């Protein structure tokens, strides 16, 4: 942290993606099919009255950037009103499988990369605006984003980072001063909503779909070029594409373990929303488990099929990897190697899941043959789904259960957990007995493991966050921000920086979802409209 922070205007951009890969020769930004190119140069479309609503100090520190003053050129640049020296704005070309079906060309329909820069760790970072206007990939849509979805993306990107989960980041949130028309409920009553732009940051935004489109359109030369480029610059040390695919499988498996650990549901795991770097990407109708329910999804568009519900995410990631394998097949041409990599996904996930659950529960690592332990774990999820039980609060509070009381079957052992139940009369006497029996076995295993209580609690608390940005909290920040008040947004930004620590003064943000939020739009269920 030696050099003082600079203004965005002073950054020397070095646009490796643009420099290395073929551009679409046409500057036409009308919707169209693009071929034999990785991207199209696309300038952002200016907005009327940019206003900086939020800024991630932590990410800015990492980038060595100074927070811009309201009238700085940087705010104009982050709103797409000005292209700074060295920036070469482009929209990327990619395809994807949406809800299980090949959708053809998708591409950056409302994302525009401004340029790449080096952060303080010497890591290359791409700065990308989301909602900066139409591109050739916008299809029938407007290239814009509403404030509510932009606040949600801004908050969750930063929250995920501080939870220690690989993710794209968010630097800034700018209100555009323009309205955007959206039919939020898909009920034929579109409304004007305030528009906004998030500046997202990641080493690369390349997705599975970047490769899929090239194979689908029979462009093997460009496929090889893109694979070589991603391997060389983002997976240094790997030279065999089969090893590279195996590494993507492992990263994706670890990401799924992390999502499952914190109860995150992405909501739209289409292959165009899968990062080739194993990052969480494209925050849309995402959510966090409140009542434990394997079939839960916040995405109302997926309410019928529940393809992307909480419990299916690991399977879906695997399926998405099989699509990527298909796209890479012309290049790798070794079915066995691809299958071995996919098997590696399953193994990495299974091991990671088992270790993660041990940490969540404060238990020793089980052997696969330990049937009693496996039974204890599967029984836990049955119990958790019997009555509405808050996922985050339950696991966080489990560390406070008195092991000796649990061992002797004392009713008071349940006390710390009562806060996790949603209905006032919960758990029923019958369920309470089942919980006490479960806790007794849990306590026996803890004692058999011999770990000290201090060490076990530390391990549990480092795995089970106390603070997550629940949808209803984000919605309060959205409602306030829409009225010009960003205090809640700022408060959530502070809260999320140390999600595993007790933070006196923030306890009101660590509670269960209040009843009024159960069915309020944005607070539990969301549509894709954004
Ligand atoms: P998603 O699944 O929401 O990440 O988006 C799927 C595709 O639709 C991507 O190609 C997006 O760029 C595009 N898209 C979504 N919303 C818009 C919009 N408002 N304008 C243009 N393209 C969009
Ligand atoms: Mg997307």
Q: What is the pLDDT of residue 525?
A: 84
Tokens 């940005």, located at residue: 469
The H or E element spanning position 24 is: none
Ligand 2 centre from 148 Cα, in Å? 17
pLDDT, mean over the chain: 97
Question: Within this chain, do residues 331 and 392 fall inside the same structural domain, yes or no?
Answer: no
Q: Is 140 exposed, middle or buried (0-12, 13-18, 19+ CB in 10 A)?
A: exposed
How far is it, in rounded angstroms, from Cα 116 to Cα 18?
A: 10
User: What does the DSSP 8-state code read for residue 408?
Assistant: T
Q: What average pLDDT does this structure show over 463-481?
A: 97
Question: Within this chain, do residues 179 and 241 fall inside the same structural domain, yes or no?
Answer: no
Ligand 2 centre from 402 Cα, in Å? 45
Q: Which of 24, 108, 258, 272 is catalytic?
A: 272
Q: Is 80 exceeded by the pLDDT of residue 414?
A: yes
Q: What is the pLDDT of residue 185?
A: 85
List the residue whose alpha carbon is closest to atom 23 of ligand 1: 109
Could you tell me whether strands 124-130 and 111-118 are parallel, antiparallel, or unpaired per DSSP bridges? Answer: antiparallel
- Structural contact between residues 229 and 260, judged by C-beta atoms closer than 8 angstroms: no
Identify whether 85 is part of a domain: yes
- Whether 72 is a known active-site residue: answer no
How far is it, in rounded angstroms, from Cα 364 to Cα 390?
A: 24
Rg of the chain taking only CA atoms, in angstroms: 24
How far is it, in rounded angstroms, from Cα 348 to Cα 377?
A: 19
Give the environment of ion ligand 2: residues with CB less than 5 A: 273, 282
pLDDT band (50, 70, 90) for residue 3: confident
Question: Within this chain, do residues 103 and 152 fall inside the same structural domain, yes or no?
Answer: yes
Identify whether 236 is part of a domain: yes
* Token reading at 234: 């983002």
3-class DSSP state of 313? helix
Ligand 2 centre from 424 Cα, in Å? 40
pLDDT digits (tens, 9 = 90+) for 447-461: 999 999 999 999 999
Count other C-beta atoms under 10 Å from residue 220's C-beta: 11
| % of the chain beyond a pLDDT of 90 | 95
Question: Within this chain, do residues 49 and 169 fall inside the same structural domain, yes or no?
Answer: yes
Task: Give the ligand whose atoms come closest to the C-alpha of residue 103.
Answer: 1
Q: What is the pLDDT of residue 369?
A: 85
Q: What average pLDDT does this structure show over 484-494?
A: 97
List the residue whose alpha carbon is closest to atom 10 of ligand 1: 106
Question: Within this chain, do residues 390 and 436 fall inside the same structural domain, yes or no?
Answer: yes
User: What atom of ligand 1 comes closest to residue 268's alpha carbon?
Assistant: 2
Q: What average pLDDT does this structure show over 248-257?
A: 98
How far is it, in rounded angstroms, from Cα 426 to Cα 432?
A: 8
Q: What is the pLDDT of residue 417?
A: 98
List the residue whose alpha carbon is closest to atom 6 of ligand 1: 106
Identify whether 494 is part of a domain: no
How far is it, in rounded angstroms, from Cα 437 to Cα 380?
A: 11
3-class DSSP state of 287? strand
Question: Within this chain, do residues 33 and 178 fall inside the same structural domain, yes or no?
Answer: yes
Question: Within this chain, do residues 194 and 308 fall inside the same structural domain, yes or no?
Answer: no
Identify whether 407 is part of a domain: yes
Where is the domain boundary, 411, 429, 450?
450
Q: Is 70 exceeded by the pLDDT of residue 74?
A: yes
Ligand 2 centre from 90 Cα, in Å? 16
Question: Within this chain, do residues 43 and 136 fall inside the same structural domain, yes or no?
Answer: yes
Q: Is the peptide bond before 427 cis (omega within 30 degrees of 0)?
A: yes
Domain that holds residue 405: 363-450
Strand partners, 55: 172
Question: Within this chain, do residues 92 and 188 fall inside the same structural domain, yes or no?
Answer: yes
Identify whether 488 is part of a domain: no
Pocket of ligand 1 (CB under 6 A): 106-110, 137-138, 141-144, 268, 270, 272-273, 282, 284
Q: What average pLDDT does this structure show over 390-407?
A: 98
* Token reading at 414: 């349940």
Identify whether 515 is part of a domain: no
Q: What is the pLDDT of residue 368?
A: 78
Q: Is 90 exceeded by the pLDDT of residue 467?
A: yes
Structurally, how many domains does the chain consist of? 3
Task: Give the ligand whose atoms come closest to the C-alpha of residue 193.
Answer: 1
pLDDT digits (tens, 9 = 90+) for 30-42: 999 999 999 999 9
Question: Within this chain, do residues 142 and 272 fall inside the same structural domain, yes or no?
Answer: no
What separation in angstroms does the CA of 106 have from each of 60, 70, 175, 474?
Answer: 30, 35, 26, 28
pLDDT digits (tens, 9 = 90+) for 7-52: 999 999 999 999 999 999 999 999 999 999 999 999 999 999 999 9
Question: Within this chain, do residues 60 and 185 fall inside the same structural domain, yes or no?
Answer: yes
241-262 vs 220-234: helix crossing angle, rounded to 10: 60
Identify whether 516 is part of a domain: no
Where is the domain boundary, 318, 333, 360?
360
User: What atom of ligand 1 comes closest to residue 111's alpha carbon?
Assistant: 12
pLDDT band (50, 70, 90) for residue 282: very high
- Structural contact between residues 357 and 377, judged by C-beta atoms closer than 8 angstroms: yes
Question: Within this chain, do residues 149 and 28 fall inside the same structural domain, yes or no?
Answer: yes
Ligand 2 centre from 266 Cα, in Å? 11
| % of the chain beyond a pLDDT of 70 | 100
pLDDT digits (tens, 9 = 90+) for 301-339: 999 999 999 999 999 999 999 999 999 999 999 999 999
Q: What is the pLDDT of residue 524?
A: 81
Identify whether 482 is part of a domain: no
Phi-psi region of 4 (alpha: psi -120 to 50; beta: other; left: phi over 0): beta
Residue 524: CA count within 13 A, CB half-sphere: 14
pLDDT digits (tens, 9 = 90+) for 270-281: 999 999 999 999
pLDDT band (50, 70, 90) for residue 186: confident
Where is the domain boundary, 450, 476, 501?
450
């Amino acid at each position: 942290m030696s050099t003082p922070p600079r203004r965005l205007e002073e950054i020397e951009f070095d646009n490796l993606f643009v420099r290395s890969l073929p551009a679409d020769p046409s500057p036409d930004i009308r919707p169209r099919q693009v071929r034999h190119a990785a991207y199209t140069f696309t300038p952002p479309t200016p907005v009327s009255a940019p206003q900086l609503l939020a800024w991630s100090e932590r990410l800015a520190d990492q980038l060595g950037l100074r927070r811009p003053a309201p009238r700085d050129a940087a705010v104009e640049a982050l709103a797409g009103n000005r292209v700074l020296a060295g920036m070469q704005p482009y929209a990327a070309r990619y395809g994807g499988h949406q809800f299980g079906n090949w959708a053809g060309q998708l591409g950056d329909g409302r994302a525009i990369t401004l340029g790449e820069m080096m952060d303080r760790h010497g890591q290359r970072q791409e700065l990308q605006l989301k909602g900066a206007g139409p591109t050739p990939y916008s299809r029938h849509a407007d290239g814009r984003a509403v404030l509510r979805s932009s606040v949600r993306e801004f908050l969750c990107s930063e929250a995920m980072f501080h939870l220690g989960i690989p993710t794209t980041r968010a630097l800034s949130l700018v209100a555009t001063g323009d309205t955007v028309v959206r039919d939020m409920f898909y009920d034929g009553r579109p409304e004007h909503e305030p528009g906004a732009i998030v500046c997202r940051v990641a080493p690369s935004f390349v997705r599975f779909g970047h490769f899929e489109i090239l194979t689908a359109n029979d462009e093997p030369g460009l496929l090889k070029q893109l694979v070589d480029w991603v391997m060389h610059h983002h997976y240094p040390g790997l030279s065999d594409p089969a090893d590279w695919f195996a590494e993507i499988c492992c990263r994706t498996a670890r990401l799924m373990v992390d999502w499952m650990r914190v109860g995150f549901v992405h909501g739209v795991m289409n292959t165009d929303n899968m990062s080739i770097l194993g990052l969480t990407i494209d925050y849309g109708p995402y959510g966090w488990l409140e009542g434990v329910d394997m079939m839960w999804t916040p995405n109302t568009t997926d309410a019928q099929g529940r393809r992307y519900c909480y419990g299916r995410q690991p399977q879906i990631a695997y399926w998405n990897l099989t699509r990527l394998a298909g796209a890479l097949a012309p290049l790798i041409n070794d079915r066995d190697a691809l299958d071995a990599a996919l098997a590696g996904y399953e193994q990495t996930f299974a091991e990671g899941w088992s270790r993660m659950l041990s940490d969540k529960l404060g238990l020793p690592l089980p052997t696969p043959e330990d049937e009693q332990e496996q039974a204890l774990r599967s029984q836990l999820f049955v119990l958790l789904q019997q009555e509405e039980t808050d996922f985050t609060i339950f696991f966080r509070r489990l560390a406070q259960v008195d092991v000796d009381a649990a061992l002797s079957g004392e009713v008071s052992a349940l006390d710390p957990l009562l806060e996790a139940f949603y209905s006032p009369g919960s758990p029923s006497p019958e369920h309470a007995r089942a919980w006490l029996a479960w806790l007794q076995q849990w306590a026996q295993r803890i004692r058999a493991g011999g770990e000290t209580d201090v060490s076990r609690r530390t391990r549990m608390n480092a795995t089970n966050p106390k603070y997550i940005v629940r949808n209803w909290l984000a919605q309060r920040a959205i409602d306030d921000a829409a009225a010009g008040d960003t205090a809640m947004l700022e408060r959530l930004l502070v809260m999320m920086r140390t999600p595993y620590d007790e933070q006196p003064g923030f306890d009101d943000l660590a509670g269960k979802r209040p009843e009024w939020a159960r069915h309020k739009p944005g607070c539990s269920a969301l549509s894709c409209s954004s």
